[in-house]
């Protein structure tokens, strides 16, 4: 996004559609989450970590993502309306939602899965975090902050090697 340049029609159309999707999905997940949490209370102690790391995680992780996308789109639409102050506010809320995603990831890790998301999803989350920071800087007319280099799949595997023992049939024998 160049300073003072209008957004393309495609970006505006996409943002409006994403906002509709966010509203629908947030409503569904906000109704589902209390049910999943109530079920968690009834899970046997020896299965709670698994349940928390899978079912509860899959329900909870989408809510901050939805908030991030909703606020990011609202920031862009506010920018398009030339309401920079409101655009900055929305972008800052999107940044906070992005930060909240990490705690959901870490809460899902347990036992042999401790630190799993460091090499799996967090690099993409960090990239999104940096992109929102860049948007805020551009909206404020500040210098663009440095961003982390986006790693690609071959580099992810170096972080997943310690987890290969968790999938003995999927990974070849690797030196640990």
Q: 71-87: per-residue pLDDT in tens? A: 999 999 999 999 999 99
CATH number for the domain formed by residue range(s) 9-166: 1.20.58
For the chain, what are the domain ranges?
9-166
In this prediction, residue 82 carries a pLDDT of 94
Enclosing H/E stretch for 22 = helix 9-42
CA-CA-CA-CA torsion for 103, 63, 121, 95, nearest 10 degrees? -70
Q: What would the pLDDT profile of 157-176 be if each residue is shown by its tens digit?
A: 566 666 666 666 655 555 54
Q: Which residues of 51-72 are buried (b: 16+ CB within 10 A; e: fewer)?
A: bbbeebbebbbbbbbbbbbbbb
What is the per-residue pLDDT for 155?
A: 58
pLDDT attached to residue 138 = 94
The mean of the pLDDT values for the chain is: 86
Identify whether the C-beta of residue 56 lies closer than 8 Å to the C-beta of residue 36.
Answer: yes
Task: Decide if pLDDT at 115 tops 90.
Answer: no
Band of residue 4 on the pLDDT scale cut at 50, 70, 90: confident
- What's the mean pLDDT in 111-117? 79
Supply the pTM of this predicted model: 0.81
């Amino acid at each position: 996004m160049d300073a003072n340049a209008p957004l393309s029609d495609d970006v505006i159309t996409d943002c409006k559609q994403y906002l509709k999707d966010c509203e629908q999905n947030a409503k569904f997940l906000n109704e589902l989450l209390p049910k999943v949490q109530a079920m968690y209370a009834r899970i046997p102690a020896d299965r709670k970590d698994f349940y928390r790391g899978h079912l509860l995680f899959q329900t909870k992780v989408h809510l901050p993502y939805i908030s991030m996308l909703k606020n990011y789109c609202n920031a862009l639409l506010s920018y398009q309306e030339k309401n920079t102050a409101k655009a900055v506010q929305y972008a800052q809320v999107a940044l906070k939602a992005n930060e909240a995603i990490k705690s959901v990831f870490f809460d899902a890790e347990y036992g042999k899965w401790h630190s799993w998301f460091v090499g799996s999803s967090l690099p993409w989350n960090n990239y999104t975090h940096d992109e929102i920071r860049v948007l805020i800087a551009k909206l404020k007319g500040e210098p663009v902050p440095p961003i982390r280099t986006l790693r690609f799949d071959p580099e992810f595997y170096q972080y997943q090697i310690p987890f290969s023992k968790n999938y003995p049939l999927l990974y070849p024998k690797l030196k640990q």
